[in-house]
Every structure is written in C-alpha cells, then in structure tokens.
C-alpha cells in the first residue's frame, strides 16, 4: 500500500542530479530502494488496482528502472534523475500507443495521458477522425478544458497539415500528443491520499484514452 514519498525521496533525487556516479549511487542505494523505488512501485500498484477495477481496462503497469542503457550513455551519467510508471496495454511497441503515466524528478512531478512517440500513421488517422467527426473530440476537449487540470503537449508540425478553429486548433497539428498535469516540489506526494487523487485525475482522461485507442482499427486516409 502506498504510504507516500518523503523528504528522503527529494534528497535522493537532487543528490543523483549532482552526483551521478557509481560511487555515490552505491553509497546511497538503500535510500533509493527505500524512498524512491519502493513507494513508486506501491503507487503504481495501488493506482493500477483501483483504476483497472473501476474501468475494466486491459492494462498492465511498468515501473522504470533507474539504470540508463549503457549503450546510449554519452554524457557519463549512468543513472536517470527521474523515475516514472505507466499504465499500458501489452504491446510490442508501447512507445507508439497511448499510456497513462506518472513521473517524479528533482523539481517536481507530472502525470497524464499520451503517446511517448506517436507514429505518423496514428496522427494521420487522428486528423482524419477530426475531419470526419469534429464534435467527438470537441466534447472531450471541452470537458478537459473545463476541469482546468491538464495542458496539451507535443511537438507541432512546422508545416501545418490543416487549419482548425476553436478548441481543436491546438490539437490538430501535433506530431505526437499528450495531456499533462504538473506540480512543483514534492509535498503533495508525501500523502497517501495522492494515489486516490491520481486515480481521480486519470479517470477524467478515460474518454480521451478510448478515443485514441479507437484510432487503431481505422485506415489512414
């Protein structure tokens, strides 16, 4: 059961930011295990259990490892300075599918729903759906805007694929797309009640999640 992160979580995250070495990590590994890895796994499991039971969604969860892929290390930093978990469907290319996520870093935290890297084909289907039935996404976008919790995120095409007005204008020309909520500092994460809040905010994103997945069976035009 998630009992909250704590001040030692924050201390470790800032520590690895400025001391990203094997020697420092080994000296502080127990703090990592007790105050970052363990509560992250507890949070992921609690949220996954509550969220999937309520929505009957076929999701698993993944908790990131702190160790960076040695084959891709170019700056000498062996460890990630942020950690995350995701709720996702079992898929061979999860980065191109919509996932719910939570991430913690030294400065604060973020969570939401979106694609790590949507394919061009997926975004082509997205635009085709908006063109054929704009009201469907408008309803979802309006509801999310009224909740005043999430911000739309994702790189945009330098050459626009088309023009939309109103709510859909900031959605249409994205290369990939996410809805993100963020907070500075970690104090809200110290409470066990944060798991409940995360479930509640994820719940607001379920209509968009279903919209994204409904694109998978369509043909791009």
Cα radius of gyration rounded to whole Å, the chain:
19
Q: What is the dihedral of CA 161, 130, 121, 157, to 10 degrees?
A: 30
Strand 108-114, strand 151-153: pairing: unpaired
Please tell me the predicted confidence (pLDDT) of residue 76.
67
Please tell me the predicted confidence (pLDDT) of residue 68.
86
Please tell me the predicted confidence (pLDDT) of residue 170.
95
The closest alpha carbon to 184, from 85, 104, 114, belongs to 104
Pick out the chain residues at pLDDT < 70. 70-76, 217-221
Q: What is the DSSP string of 5-49?
A: --HHHHHHHHHHHH--SHHHHHHTHHHHIIIIIHHHHHHHHHHHH
The closest alpha carbon to 216, from 87, 96, 56, 61, belongs to 96
DSSP state for residue 220 in the 8-state scheme: P
Q: What is the DSSP string of 58-121?
A: --EEEE--SB--GGG--SS--B-S-EEEEEE---TTGGGS-EEEEEEETTEEEEEEE-SS--HH
40-76 confidence digits (pLDDT tens): 999 999 999 999 999 989 999 999 999 987 666 666 6
Please tell me the predicted confidence (pLDDT) of residue 160.
92
């Amino acid at each position: 059961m998630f009992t909250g992160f704590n001040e030692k979580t924050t201390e470790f995250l800032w520590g690895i930011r400025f001391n990203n070495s094997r020697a420092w990590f080994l000296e502080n590994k127990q703090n990592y295990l007790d105050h970052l890895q363990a509560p992250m796994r507890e949070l992921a499991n609690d949220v996954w259990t509550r969220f999937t039971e309520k929505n009957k969604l076929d999701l698993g969860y993944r908790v990131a490892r702190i160790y960076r892929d040695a084959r891709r290390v170019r700056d000498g930093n062996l460890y990630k300075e942020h950690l995350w978990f995701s709720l996702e469907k079992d898929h061979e290319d999860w980065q191109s599918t919509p996932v719910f996520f939570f991430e913690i870093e030294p400065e604060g935290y973020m969570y939401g729903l979106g694609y790590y890297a949507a394919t061009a084909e997926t975004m082509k289907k997205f635009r085709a759906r908006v063109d054929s039935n704009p009201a469907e996404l408008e309803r979802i976008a309006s509801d999310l805007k009224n909740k005043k919790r999430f911000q739309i995120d994702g790189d945009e095409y330098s050459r626009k694929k088309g023009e939309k007005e109103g709510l859909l204008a900031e959605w249409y020309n994205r290369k990939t797309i996410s809805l993100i909520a963020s907070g500075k500092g970690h104090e809200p994460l110290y409470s066990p009640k944060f798991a409940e809040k995360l479930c509640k905010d994820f719940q607001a994103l379920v209509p968009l999640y279903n919209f994204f997945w409904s694109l998978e069976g369509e043909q791009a035009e």
